[in-house]
Amino acid sequence: MKTLVANFSTQLTEAIAIGSDAKLIPSANKISNVLICGLGGSGIGGSIISELVIAHATVPVNVTKGYFIPAYVNENTLVIISSYSGNTEETLNCMELAIAKLAKVVCVTSGGKVAEIAGKKNLDTIIVPGGMPPRSCLGYSLTQLFFILGFNKLIANEYKAELVAAVKLIDSEEKNIIAEATIIANKLVDKMPVIYATTYNEGIAIRFRQQLNENAKILCWHHVIPEMNHNELVGWTKKNDTLSVILFLDADEYSRNLTRVDINKEVIRKYTSNITEIHSKGNSRIEKAIYFIHLGDWISVILGDLRGVDLMEVNVINHLKSKLSEI
């Protein structure tokens, strides 16, 4: 897993080439909305991109992480099926429902049943390299989402240059990223991480939570500012130094949110001395997101090593899938 994390920039570079060479067919109908279907490592890219493009996408970009699709899906909907293995049963169900509703369906997968169905139905499909844990292949899936939206003229073409810049950024910062990740991981040993981010960085917080779950084998939770100021902040009432707060921060964040962060820290410090700030680097939201993702991934694998766990093992997920296959 550490090798896969270390190779993130190489994966992004390969993913950009795959997206640039993708053979996609324009929709016969005007696209009025987008739905991205996927779960876990295959689905988190949808959560992240829906926030990254919210300020300039020409149509709504929504995400579903279950068996069903919203009632609004029709022939004017672009449905992106994201399943790394191609065998995610929830996503396959969404795929069949989207096809039945005559939506414009585009698939991102390494193969499996998704590729099989797409071939039979003559659906647009972008094939990415297989054989790796889905959580280690976010670079492939997230990048293809940008290219699919860009091909359909739902976002401007700046994303290409920003993805390339993101690769250069993490390559140049790699030593610093690993050093910072090591410091933070050591702070999290025997702690319960509490992850906070601001509104349009929730996907980043979720990604970090998922990586801590799967790689480091620990429980944790996340929330978003300012929403948590209307509920969770009230829950900080008892001193508990087993809790360790991680704040994903961006200096370009809306000033009122930055003020909220400062006030939140004042409140939280009364109940835990463990507060760590992770500050973004980069010149665009895409660069900053890629930086956050890579740093978070490194924290998760270093923490897993410190805990002495098998970073690759996900036996309980395989057990769940096996039980479901018997029904």
Cα dihedral sign, 241-243-248-252: negative
Residues 6+ apart with CB under 8 A from 88: 38, 39, 40, 42, 114
Task: Read off the amino acid at residue 87.
Answer: N
Q: Which candidate in 214, 253, 287, 294 is catalytic?
A: 214
Which helix or strand (DSSP H or E) is residue 45 part of?
helix 40-52
> Is residue 174 annotated as part of the catalytic site, yes or no?
no
Alpha helices (H) along 231-310: 255-268, 285-307
Catalytic, 214? Answer: yes
- Alpha carbon of residue 93 to chain centroid: 21
Residue 116 tokens, joined:
């099989």
Beta bridge partners of 87: none
Cα–Cα distance measured from residue 221 to residue 78, given in angstroms and rounded to the nearest whole number: 32
- Evaluate the omega torsion of the peptide bond into residue 226 and state whether it is cis, within 30 degrees of 0: yes
Instruction: Give 251: exposed, middle or buried? Use CB within 10 Å, 0-12, 13-18, 19+.
Output: exposed
Given a contact cutoff of 8 angstroms between Cβ atoms, the answer to whether 84 and 134 are in contact is yes
Is the CB of residue 209 less than 8 Å from the CB of residue 236? Answer: no
Query: For this structure, is 270 an active site residue?
Result: no
Structure tokens at 305: 């090593």
Measured from the Cβ of residue 196, the count of other Cβ atoms closer than 10 Å reads 24
Whether the CB-CB separation of 208 and 44 falls below 8 Å is answered with no
Beta bridge partners of 192: 243
The closest alpha carbon to 175, from 259, 295, 276, 293, belongs to 295
Active-site residue, selected from the candidate residues 230, 238, 266, 326: 230
Catalytic residue IDs: 214, 230, 321
